[in-house]
């Protein structure tokens, strides 16, 4: 597994250092000559007296202690003359150089070389194609004083084919899903990773995809990826339609904080039940979605699974309608997500606060009169963790997926036409163009030591959210006051059990506020998710 950049201090490279004396040119010449004479006298004494293993070990320890003291007290002027790579039988030199060469060439002291090599170690491990990485620093050529050579030794992974399988819930999913994936690493020696995956969600989602990713090579400014996927989603029970999407995605920019992806998707909406309401029926058929998605994300929390301090935020902008076909969906979708974690100083207790929001702005002629596309709208509900993921305004514990927000009656048949009213299950969830959610979560250690060692902890929480339609002339009746007054809310408590295979939450949710056609229920709720 790739080591994250925050673990730089914990994963230090292996060193074999030999510092050239010509790097000590800042000291006065007289002192340096005296030092050389003293060192020669010590060397003569050591040569006269044969060293035992214990004395040799003690001598080496003293030399390392002197080196460590000097590194702490003053910078040692030193520059990298050459970088030598060994052990790569399949991986191209250019792949390794692209990850380490810039930092090493910029280093001007031995301390900076150590730091650059540490960064390089993390980057090479993140490629996920090496079993081990080590750096060794040795003296440079005698004719080039103040230089050093850096030797990089790597061991390529023995088994390039790996697989994994997991069971978890995703944002917006109302049931569990099972996913399996296969990866073929470094097929052509460019750290290329080819993968295929299959995801199956009970009664809802099936996805088959395949792709390839390439790291930042010498001619590429950023890692790139390409992916093709076939997605089938069953929303008949909740929104009276099925969706099939065949698409390709191309990663144009991928850094620690920025991501830019182009997507082209051919979508088909169908209603096999022929029970959809008027709003859904108007959108059945084929459509082409051509979009550019940009994400800016910063996560300074100490842990994504159980944060106790720090902050995180994510801003996502999606611009759709880049193709010339006027029948294609054209809109601007903006999402934001902000999180804060505050330690409380007892039982590892921490207070997590978060607020998320999203809005859709349709584009084109008469955009205010035309409704937005239902699959692109915001939906809320489900049992996704409040704290872990920066997924936008989607999770609201205690409510089913798509369990709140605008709805409309389904087409009535002979069996239902005589009924006095239409129940919530006989209405279609339509989603919203404006969505806002917020939460507060207090996590704490359980008193038993066995739970603390296993990472099992408890939490109490409160969450609220709402979404409304703005397109199709709905904006004319929008009222901020009514929007705030119609927030749904939930409070509860639970236990979180992290394992290597999955992360389980067992929560008791009490619905504080809901409306007539919402799908909320007070009771115990289970959630399984990937342990990241």
Find tokens 């250690």 and name the residue.
Answer: 445
DSSP three-state, residue 454: helix
Residue 31 token pair: 């002192």
Span 280-290, average pLDDT: 91
Residue 4 three-state SS: coil
pLDDT digits (tens, 9 = 90+) for 48-99: 555 677 777 777 677 777 766 766 677 878 888 899 999 989 998 888 888 8
User: Within 10 A of 1 (CB to CB), how many other CB atoms are there?
Assistant: 6
Is the pLDDT reported for residue 530 higher than 70? no
d(CA 249, CA 244): 16
Confidence of residue 429 (pLDDT cuts 50, 70, 90): very high
In angstroms, the CA 524 to CA 507 distance is 6
497, pLDDT greater than 80: yes
Q: What is the pLDDT of residue 2?
A: 40
Q: What is the mean pLDDT of residues 463-484?
A: 88
User: What is the C-alpha to C-alpha distance for residues 52 and 138, in angstroms, rounded to an integer?
Assistant: 27
In percent, the amount of the chain with pLDDT more than 70 equals 81
Best CA proximity match to 403, nearest among 514, 527, 486, 284: 514
Q: Are strands 79-86 and 147-156 parallel, antiparallel or unpaired?
A: parallel
Q: What is the pLDDT of residue 486?
A: 92
Closest residue by Cα to residue 289 from 335, 251, 257, 243: 243
Q: Find the mean pLDDT for residues 132-153.
A: 89
Non-local CB neighbours of 185 within 8 Å, separated by 6+ positions: 128, 129, 157, 160, 161, 162, 191, 192, 193
- Measured in degrees and rounded to the nearest 5, phi and psi for residue 151 equal -105, 125
- The closest of 197, 223, 225 to 212, measured between CA atoms, is 225
SS3 496: strand
Is the Cα dihedral 100, 106, 110, 111 positive or negative?
negative
375 secondary structure, DSSP code: G
- What integer pLDDT is reported at residue 46 of this predicted model? 47
List pLDDT tens digits, range 317-367.
Answer: 999 988 877 667 789 999 999 999 999 988 899 999 999 999 998 887 767
* Cα 263 from Cα 291, distance rounded (Å): 5
Give pTM, 2 decimals: 0.76
- Residue 352's pLDDT is what? 96
Q: How do beta strands 285-299 and 258-270 pair?
A: antiparallel
Q: What's the rounded Cα separation, in Å, for the pair 387 and 4?
A: 20
Residue 315 burial (C-beta neighbours within 10 Å; 0-12, 13-18, 19+) = middle
Do residues 74 and 110 touch, judged by C-beta distance below 8 A? Answer: no
Q: Which residues of 421-444 are buried (b: 16+ CB within 10 A; e: fewer)?
A: eeeeebbbbbbbbbbbbbbebbbb
531: exposed, middle or buried (C-beta count within 10 Å: 0-12, 13-18, 19+)?
A: middle
Across the range 283-302, mean pLDDT stands at: 93
- Report the share of the chain in percent with pLDDT over 90: 38
Cα–chain center distance at 136: 32
User: pLDDT by residue (tens digit) across 21-45?
Assistant: 444 434 333 344 444 444 444 444 4
Mean pLDDT of the chain: 82
Q: Residue 467 has which token pair?
A: 């979404």
User: CB neighbours of 220 closer than 8 A, spacing ≥ 6?
Assistant: 214
Mean pLDDT on 404-430: 71
> In this structure, what token pair is assigned to residue 510?
């009490």
- Which tokens hold the place of 262? 């182009």
**Nearest partner of 444 among 308, 303, 304, judged by Cα:** 308
When mean pLDDT is compared over 166-175, 197-206, 317-326, 419-428, the highest value belongs to 317-326
Q: Are 341 and 351 in contact (CB under 8 A)?
A: yes
Report helix, strand or coil for 5: helix
- Average pLDDT estimate for 510-524: 92
pLDDT digits (tens, 9 = 90+) for 191-249: 999 999 998 876 667 889 999 998 876 566 678 899 999 999 889 888 999 999 999 99
- Tell me which DSSP letter residue 399 carries: B
356 and 335 Cβ atoms separated by less than 8 Å:
yes
- E strand spans, 281-398: 285-299, 310-320, 331-343, 350-362
Whether the CB-CB separation of 308 and 348 falls below 8 Å is answered with: yes
Q: Which two tokens stand for residue 175?
A: 């049931």
What stretches of 211-300 show up as alpha helix (H) in DSSP? 236-239, 278-281
d(CA 133, CA 156): 9
Long-range contacts for 104-109 (Cβ within 8 Å, ≥24 apart)?
A: 104/80, 104/150, 105/80, 107/78, 107/79, 107/80, 108/77, 108/78, 108/79, 109/75, 109/76, 109/77, 109/78
pLDDT greater at residue 443 or residue 64: 443
Environment class of residue 502 by beta-carbon count within 10 Å: exposed (0-12), middle (13-18) or buried (19+)?
Answer: middle
Instruction: Summarize the confidence of residues 375-381 as an average pLDDT.
Output: 92
Q: What would the two tokens of residue 383 be?
A: 């049992």
């Amino acid at each position: 597994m790739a080591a994250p950049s925050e673990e730089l201090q914990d994963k230090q490279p292996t060193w074999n250092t030999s510092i050239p004396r010509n790097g000590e040119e800042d000291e006065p010449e007289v002192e340096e000559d005296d030092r050389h004479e003293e060192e020669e006298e010590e060397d003569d004494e050591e040569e006269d007296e044969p060293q035992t293993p214990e004395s040799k070990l003690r001598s080496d320890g003293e030399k390392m202690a002197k080196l460590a003291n000097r590194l702490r007290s003053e910078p040692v002027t030193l520059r990298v003359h050459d970088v030598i790579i060994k052990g790569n039988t399949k991986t191209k030199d250019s792949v390794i150089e692209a990850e380490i060469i810039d930092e090493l060439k910029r280093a001007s002291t031995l301390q900076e070389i150590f730091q650059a090599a540490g960064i390089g170690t993390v980057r090479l491990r993140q490629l996920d194609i090496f079993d081990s990485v080590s750096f060794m620093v040795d003296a440079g050529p005698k004719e080039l004083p103040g230089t050093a050579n850096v030797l990089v030794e790597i061991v390529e992974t023995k088994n390039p084919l790996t697989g994994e399988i997991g069971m978890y819930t995703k944002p917006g999913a109302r049931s569990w899903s099972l996913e399996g994936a296969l990866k073929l690493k470094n097929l052509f020696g460019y750290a290329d990773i080819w993968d295929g995956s299959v995801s199956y969600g009970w009664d809802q989602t099936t996805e088959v995809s395949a792709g390839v990713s390439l790291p930042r090579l010498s001619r590429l400014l950023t890692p790139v990826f390409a992916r093709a996927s076939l997605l089938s989603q069953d929303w008949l029970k909740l929104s009276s339609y099925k969706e099939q999407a065949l698409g390709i995605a191309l990663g144009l920019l991928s850094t620690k904080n920025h991501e830019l992806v182009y997507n082209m998707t051919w979508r088909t909406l169908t209603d096999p039940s022929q029970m959809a309401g008027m709003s859904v029926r108007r959108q059945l058929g084929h459509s082409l979605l051509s979009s550019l998605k940009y994400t800016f994300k910063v996560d300074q929390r100490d842990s994504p699974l159980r944060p106790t301090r720090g902050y995180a935020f994510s801003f996502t902008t999606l611009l759709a309608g880049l193709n010339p076909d006027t029948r294609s969906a054209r809109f601007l979708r903006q999402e934001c997500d902000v999180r804060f974690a505050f330690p409380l100083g007892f039982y590892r207790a921490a207070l997590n606060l978060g607020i998320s929001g999203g809005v859709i702005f349709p584009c084109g002629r008469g955009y205010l009169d035309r409704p937005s596309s239902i699959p692109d709208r915001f939906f809320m509900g489900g049992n996704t963790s409040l704290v872990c993921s920066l997924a936008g305004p989607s999770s609201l514990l205690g409510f089913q997926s798509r369990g709140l927000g605008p709805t409309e009656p389904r087409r009535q048949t002979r069996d239902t036409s005589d009924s006095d009213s239409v129940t919530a299950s006989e209405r279609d969830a339509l989603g919203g163009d404006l969505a806002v959610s917020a939460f507060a979560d207090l996590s704490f250690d359980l008193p038993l030591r066995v739970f603390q060692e296993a990472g099992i902890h408890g939490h109490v929480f409160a969450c609220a959210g709402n979404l409304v339609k703005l397109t199709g002339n709905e904006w004319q009746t929008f009222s901020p006051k009514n929007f705030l007054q119609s927030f749904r809310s939930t409070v509860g408590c639970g236990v979180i059990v992290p394992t290597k295979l999955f992360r389980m939450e067992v929560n008791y949710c009490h619905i504080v506020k809901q409306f007539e056609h919402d799908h909320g229920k007070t009771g115990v709720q289970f959630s399984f998710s990937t342990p990241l």
